[in-house]
Amino acid sequence: MASNILSIGSSALNAAQVGLSTTGHNIANASTPGYSRQVVVQSAAQAQNFGYGYIGQGTEIAAVTRVYSEILAKQAVNSQAVSAGIDIYSANLDSIENMLSDASAGLNPALNDFFASVQSLSANPNDTPTRQSMLSYAQSLVNRFHSASNRLNEVRDDVNTQLTSSVSLVNSYAKQIARLNDVIEKAINAAGNPPNDLMDQRDQLVMELSKQIKTTVVPQNQGSYNIFIGNGLPLVVGTVTNSLITTSSPTDAGRLEVAYQNKTKTTVLGGDSLPGGAIGGLLQFRSESLDIVQNQLGQIAVTLAETFNAQHVQGLDKNGNPGGSLFSIPDPAVSFSSYNTGNAVINSKIVDARAITSSDYRLQYDGTNYKITRLSDKTVQSFTSLPQTVDGLSFSQASGTMLAGDDFVVRPTQNAATSLGLLFNDASKLAVGGPVLSSSSNLANTGAATLGALTAGSTYASSPLAGAIGITYATGIPGTLTLAPSTQPVTVTSGGTTTTFPAGSPITYTSGATITVGGLSFAITGAPANGDQFTISPNTSNGSGDNRNGLLLAGLQSQGTLNNSKTSYSDALSQLVNNVGNKARELKVIGATEAKVLEQATAAIQSESGVNLDEEATNLLRYQQAYQAAGKMMQIASQLFDVLLQLGQ
């Protein structure tokens, strides 16, 4: 009997010891990340039947298990991926927002200053310092475009770096999880009990992995985890791992894409198949914000430069020469896919700066048709031949042979802001004067008619007047105007009706009607007398007070120019800044919500699995007392045995 009591006491002592160890382990790991508290599963030992009943045989430890909820962990893993994705998107977008909205270094002030200087030039066309200062403002506008675009390129490089490090983390976690899978499976097979701490470590790795990429865990019966990333790509299966790699985009060597590599092949993954986590957030940031902001910036730069140039060449500079282009604008960047089999070289040019969009374009050839896709909204246009013009952009084949499956990407705006430049720095070349002059023979004319201001249309610069055109009025019913020389047809618009007169024929005179010839428009108003003469002539002098083109240049600021002449430069720029601001705001709001969700999921896990030191203190006391009680019991058993021994003395 006594030996039975002793063994019961010893089992109790043993159990109390295990309890103390487990409690100590919990206390020691109270702040270990990913640690789940462990509990002792204790049960009564098999009782012994003595005929009159069962006598207990003490206690035994069934297991030491961790308190862990798979459902809560799954929630946290999902939430972690979403939250990490938004955080990294938001952090990257913040740097763009800071750059664009900076009151002193932003683009809006530079654009405003530039046009203020053009305005001031138009008021003081002959003032050399004013001319020089307008050029300086043009240069600083160009510099501002450069620095904004360079900053965006830096952000682009940062994205590449972050992608590379995220991908290497993913691969490293995958290997560690596979190794743990192996160890855990072996441990369970050998001892039948789960190795709690190793399992915690593996769960912690899954949690870390989900910060980098959306992760789904499928536990297997033998204790190992199968890990799927993104939209279901197997990363870890048992002890086998697949990996992610970063690889240059086939159409843009400077752009890293994430690719999935298994035993047989490598597949480039689009942003759509990798949602969530740092990788998803980065890809989303790049395609939804960075690309768009940089392209829009480029679009503003291109349209501003092209429209300014187009007006500038209409004018006459201080030396009496027709204006040249002020801004140099890079041609659209064309890249061909590294998978192309043909050797065709594609050229692209900006034909109409007002019509260009901020989108990139893809040109694909299927053997018969050329398919041009506007990538922003996936609008496809199909052609049977090149060259073609889409959205103000020309596509032509410069050389080589195009084969079926060949693929090109045209980026008209992405790097435009980086490559913008000024073509001259001689202030006398600013074409502030008008290209044509009008005069009435003030002294000789006897009638009261006046020749109004001349307007040169956009086509004038390409075919300017060769010499003066004299206009003579002859009385009659109706009165007529005769142009000499008259080599081009003349259109007369009056009260919304346009009449075209062939070259050489007299024109019916209507006071105030708009007369257009060779891209020039003017009006004669009043009652002319027979023989009155008016002249329009090319301006070849250096009319230093002539500011007509200057006024038109300054007027560009308030005109609709971008997006088919609908949006002004500054509106486009404001929209750009506001879009970034709105997105940043949205991300902050969603980010805060997701952070809250993650916090709650973590709190729920902690509530279930976390160590509470007060609870452990209670357990310590409990097991300490159990230990003391078991000891006392063994002491009593020993005393009982002594009683038996004394019987024999």
Partner 1 sequence: MRISTNTIYQSGISKISTLQAEQSKLQQQISTGRRIALPSDDPVASAQALEISHAQVVNLSFADSRQSAQIKLNTLESSLTNITNLLVSTQSALVGAGNGAYSDLDRSFIATELAGSLESLINLANTQDASGSFIYAGFKTDTKPFITNASGASYAGDSNQQFIQVDAQRLMAANASGDNVFQAGGNDVFTTLSNLVTLLNTPITNAATQTAFNTGLATAIGNLQGSVDNVLNVRAAIGSKLNELDALDTAGSDRALQYSKSLSDLQDLDYASALSDLAKQQTIMEAAQKSFVQTTQLSLFQFI
Q: Provide the binding-site residues for partner 1, judged by CB under 8 A.
A: 30-31, 37, 94, 97-98, 101, 108, 112, 115-116, 119-120, 122-127, 433, 437, 439-440, 442-443, 541-548, 551, 554-555, 557-558, 570-571, 574, 577-578, 580-582, 584-585, 588, 599, 602-603, 606-614, 617-618, 620-621
What are the angstrom distances between the C-alpha of 397 and each of 53, 177, 372? 101, 52, 13
- How many other CB atoms sit within 10 Å of the CB of residue 10? 15
- How many other CB atoms sit within 10 Å of the CB of residue 401? 10
Q: In Å, how far from its chain's centre is CA 627? A: 64
Q: Is the CB of residue 308 less than 8 Å from the CB of residue 121?
A: no
Residue 129 CB, nearest approach to partner 1 (Å)? 9
Residue 483 CB, nearest approach to partner 1 (Å)? 21
Q: Judged by CB, which is closer to partner 1: 370, or 627?
A: 627
Cα–Cα dist 144/100, whole Å: 10
Q: Judged by CB, which is closer to partner 1: 255, or 622?
A: 622
Residue 413 CB, nearest approach to partner 1 (Å)? 22
Q: Where are the alpha helices (DSSP H) in 230-323?
A: 277-285, 291-312
- How many other CB atoms sit within 10 Å of the CB of residue 374? 17
Q: Judged by CB, which is closer to partner 1: 126, or 565?
A: 126
Residue 202 CB, nearest approach to partner 1 (Å)? 20
Tokens of 148: 């904004």
Q: Is 185 exposed, middle or buried (0-12, 13-18, 19+ CB in 10 A)?
A: middle
b/e per residue 286-320 (b: at least 16 CB within 10 A): beebbbbbbbbbbbbbbbbbbbbbebbbbbbbbee
Residue 151 CB, nearest approach to partner 1 (Å)? 16
What residues form DSSP beta bridges with 227? 217, 236
Q: In Å, how far from its chain's centre is CA 415? A: 14
Q: Judged by CB, which is closer to partner 1: 281, or 392?
A: 281
b/e per residue 614-628 (b: at least 16 CB within 10 A): eebeebbeebeebbe
Q: Judged by CB, which is closer to partner 1: 369, or 541?
A: 541
Residue 52 CB, nearest approach to partner 1 (Å)? 44
Residue 623 CB, nearest approach to partner 1 (Å)? 13
Q: Judged by CB, which is closer to partner 1: 181, or 289?
A: 289
Residue 414 CB, nearest approach to partner 1 (Å)? 23
Q: Judged by CB, which is closer to partner 1: 134, or 634?
A: 134
Q: Judged by CB, which is closer to partner 1: 423, or 621?
A: 621
Q: Crossing angle for the helix pair 548-555 and 107-123, nearest 10 degrees?
A: 160
Q: Judged by CB, which is closer to partner 1: 151, or 255?
A: 151
b/e per residue 335-353 (b: at least 16 CB within 10 A): bbbeebeeebebbbebeeb
What region does 537 belong to: left with phi over 0, alpha with psi -120 to 50, or beta? beta
Q: Judged by CB, which is closer to partner 1: 211, or 548?
A: 548
Q: Judged by CB, which is closer to partner 1: 90, or 215?
A: 90
Q: Judged by CB, which is closer to partner 1: 374, or 622?
A: 622
Short-list 455, 464, 462, 429, CA closest to 317: 429
Residue 460 CB, nearest approach to partner 1 (Å)? 18
Short-list 280, 236, 245, CA closest to 266: 245
Residue 540 CB, nearest approach to partner 1 (Å)? 12
Q: DSSP letter for 329, please.
A: -
Residue 303 CB, nearest approach to partner 1 (Å)? 17
Residue 196 CB, nearest approach to partner 1 (Å)? 17
Q: Judged by CB, which is closer to partner 1: 219, or 526?
A: 526
Residue 211 CB, nearest approach to partner 1 (Å)? 17
Enclosing H/E stretch for 580: helix 569-609
Q: What is the DSSP pairing of strand 490-494 with strand 497-501? A: antiparallel
Residue 87 CB, nearest approach to partner 1 (Å)? 15
Short-list 68, 87, 65, 26, CA closest to 594: 87
Give the end-to-end CA distance of the chain in Å, rounded to a whole number: 20
Residue 391 CB, nearest approach to partner 1 (Å)? 27
Q: Coil, helix or strand for 105?
A: coil
Q: Judged by CB, which is closer to partner 1: 103, or 477?
A: 103
What are the angstrom distances between the C-alpha of 457 and each of 116, 517, 553, 566, 609? 24, 10, 14, 19, 78
Q: Judged by CB, which is closer to partner 1: 581, or 631?
A: 581
Short-list 177, 179, 183, CA closest to 209: 177
Short-list 369, 365, 363, CA closest to 404: 365
Cα–Cα dist 377/561, whole Å: 22
